[in-house]
Amino acid sequence: MTALLAEMYSSLRGFLERLGALTRFFGRVLWLSPGAFGRPRLVVEQVYNSGAMSLVIIMTCGLFVGMVLGLQGYDLLQRFGSEDALGVGAALSLLKELGPVVTALLFAGRAGTALASELGLMRATDQISAMEVMAVDPMRRVVVPRFLGGVIAMPLLTAIFIMVALFGVQLVGVQFLGVDQGQFWSQMRDAVELGDVAEGLTKGLVFGVACSLIAVFEGYHAQPTAEGVGRATTRTVVISAVTTLVLDYILTAIML
């Protein structure tokens, strides 16, 4: 019994320690972030790595999420004889929830893992120590541009995801299943407000900050072994996914 308690205590302590380290790390990254715009090339490279490289997977998944939404939404709505409302339903659910959340999960899987394993390997192969020896701050040179690249890329990816998904909904609903095109768009335009778009993009931005931070934190603090890099990558995906969903609830509660 005492052994169990002691174990719980130590794991709770470990969690708090990690959370504290993450918070401190976040503070440092934020503090160093304005300086990174003095060297925009590093940031642009990372926008390319995190954003442009994720484009294909984001667009493919967006198309299919939209098509499924079109099928399911049509099936549900035609029971009430209101399949014309498909556009509204799909647009609002995509803007408010599906778009930012699915994009963040894909982003964690595609870009987050790449960031974590890259930084972990740099740590394992002593590149980070080498930079310190050469009086180059690895935080400034390596961590901050990667973080900012992710933060810039995420809202853009979210917007692209939602746009492509809406195209998918339209494809299935209007082209395949025969929902009236005019009703589809006009009802959507009547019901969707600018605040809904802002909510989606805000969520995208917040998830971008969270996922990028977790990825660079886990990578930067990886154990310098092959196993440690693997573990850091796994932790990145798991922690990013859980954080995204928890943050999603909080953000929805605030903005609803």
Partner 1 sequence: MRQSRAIDVSTGLFVLLGLAAILFLVTQITNREFSLGGSSSSYRVSAQFENVGGLKSGAPVSMAGVTIGRVESIAYDMDLFKAVVTLRIDSRYDRIPSDSDASIYTAGLLGGQYIGISPGGSDESLRDGDTVEFVQDAIVLENLISKYLFSQAGKPDAGQPAPAPAE
105 Cβ neighbours under 8 A, 6+ residues apart: 240, 241, 244
Closer of 6 and 198 to partner 1 (Cβ): 198
Closer of 116 and 188 to partner 1 (Cβ): 188
Closer of 111 and 229 to partner 1 (Cβ): 111
Q: Does 157 bind partner 1 (CB under 8 A)?
A: yes
The alpha carbon of residue 47 and the mean position of all alpha carbons in its chain are separated, in whole angstroms, by 14
- Window 35-94: residues binding partner 1 (CB under 8 A): 41, 44-45, 47-48, 51-52, 55, 82, 85, 91
210 Cβ neighbours under 8 A, 6+ residues apart: 104, 240, 243, 244, 247
Contact 36, 151 (CB under 8 A): no
Q: Work out how close the CB of 176 gets to partner 1 at its nearest, in angstroms, rounded to a whole number.
A: 20
Among 101, 114, 151, 166, binds partner 1 (CB under 8 A): 166
Q: Work out how close the CB of 104 gets to partner 1 at its nearest, in angstroms, rounded to a whole number.
A: 15
Q: Work out how close the CB of 256 gets to partner 1 at its nearest, in angstroms, rounded to a whole number.
A: 16
Q: Among 169, 203, 157, which Cα is nearest to 48's?
A: 157
Q: Among 241, 234, 207, 210, which Cα is nearest to 117's?
A: 234
117 Cβ neighbours under 8 A, 6+ residues apart: 219, 229, 232, 233
Q: Work out how close the CB of 5 gets to partner 1 at its nearest, in angstroms, rounded to a whole number.
A: 51
**By rule CB under 8 A, what count of residues binds partner 1?**
34
Amino acid at 123: R
CA distance 246 to 32: 27
- Window 190-219: residues binding partner 1 (CB under 8 A): 190-194, 196-197, 200-201
- Window 15-34: residues binding partner 1 (CB under 8 A): none
Residues that bind partner 1 (CB under 8 A): 41, 44-45, 47-48, 51-52, 55, 82, 85, 91, 95, 153, 155-157, 159-160, 162-163, 166, 185, 187-194, 196-197, 200-201
